[in-house]
Structure 1
Amino acid sequence: MSRLTTFSSPFLLGFDDIERVLDRVSKAANDGYPPYNIERLSADPGRGDVLRITLAVAGFTRDQLEITLEESQLVIRGRQSEDDSGRQFLHRGIAARQFQRTFVLAEGIEIKTAELKDGLLSIDLVRPEPERIVRKIDITARD
């Protein structure tokens, strides 16, 4: 028995990948660390929307953070090591953590900048205005 979904409509052709992306995103959305914001900044004239992703990464240095673009996914990883050489904790409430946060980007979105300041990692993205393309398709007659 096949599963019926929103993208099963015969009028939506070639959207199989979107369904897989939505499944992947819904599974990753349950992880709440690190907390993040996504905001729309004022648009650059003629360039489209500017989006900013801000992650709270207090305790991470620039060398412990990695940002990669893997196909259409923006992947942010943080790795801290448990280097306790010579340290004796009376209470340990701050654990060295690792994380991976993934954002699926629409086609055409460009990464503009990434900045780490005061424990906040900000990544600016530009979503260009799409070109409106109208193309006429010739019809051939066969007898």
Structure 2
Amino acid sequence: MRTNFDFAPYRRSTVGFDRLFDLLETGQRTDAADGFPPFNILRDGEDRYRITLAVAGFRPDEIEVVAQQNQLTVTGKRAEDKDKGEYLHRGIAARPFERRFQLADFIEAGNARFENGLLSIELKRVVPEAMKPRKIEIGGGNVANDRIEAPKDDSQRAA
């Protein structure tokens, strides 16, 4: 059974969506194979999100959270066990991990909290003022007076 989709026709007719198609083609394969650590993504409001990872067995100083461009990376590496005992069963994962999350444009990572074996990272959409829609007032009167005019003589053009 074929599970991947051919995006070639869409790539030919669109401009600037290469990153999106790359994510769709490769994103599912990289994280789907390894489900460790398990995580939840919660929408807290219109522009607020929270990612919660279950990182039992790790201490806060063994976990690193890095936000770079449109990617959030959570990495965990446990220190060597100082126990002299021998494990008969080890059900709490102690292996190192790296979990990557692709973030949409204008999503910024905020606070990270570690509580009861859960790491929570707050995310917020922050759209710059230049990208927000703005209302343009329609004025009345003489249209000719409202036009922006170029300088008329050469001395004003050089300035």
**TM-score interval for Structure 1 and Structure 2 normalised by the shorter chain:** 0.7 to 0.9
Deviating above 6 A after TM superposition, structure 1's stretches of 4 or more consecutive aligned residues are none
Q: Provide the C-alpha distance between the structure 2 equivalents of 1:50 and 1:95, rounded to a whole number of angstroms.
A: 30
Q: Tell me the C-alpha RMSD between the 2 structures.
A: 2.3
1:32 — aligned with what? Answer: 35
- Gapped regions of structure 1 (runs ≥ 5): 44-48, 135-143
Q: CA deviation at 1:6?
A: 5.7
Deviations 1:15-64 (A, max 9, x none): 11221222331122312111111011134xxxxx1000000111110111
What letter corresponds to residue 131 of structure 1 in structure 2? K
Cα 1:53/1:42, change in 2 over 3 Å: same
2:119 — aligned with what? Answer: 121
Q: CA deviation at 1:84?
A: 4.7
Matched pairs, number: 126
Give % identity. 40
TM-score by length of 1: 0.75
Cα 1:6/1:113, change in 2 over 3 Å: farther
Q: Provide the C-alpha distance between the structure 2 equivalents of 1:16 and 1:90, rounded to a whole number of angstroms.
A: 49
What letter corresponds to residue 98 of structure 2 in structure 1? Q
What letter corresponds to residue 15 of structure 2 in structure 1? L
Q: Provide the C-alpha distance between the structure 2 equivalents of 1:36 and 1:133, rounded to a whole number of angstroms.
A: 38
Q: 1:91 aligns with which of 89, 92, 104?
A: 89
Structure with bigger strand share is 1
Does the 8 A contact of 1:7 with 1:16 survive in 2? no
- 2:45 match: secondary structure: strand
What letter corresponds to residue 23 of structure 1 in structure 2? E
Q: Provide the C-alpha distance between the structure 2 equivalents of 1:94 and 1:36, rounded to a whole number of angstroms.
A: 16
Cα 1:114/1:88, change in 2 over 3 Å: same
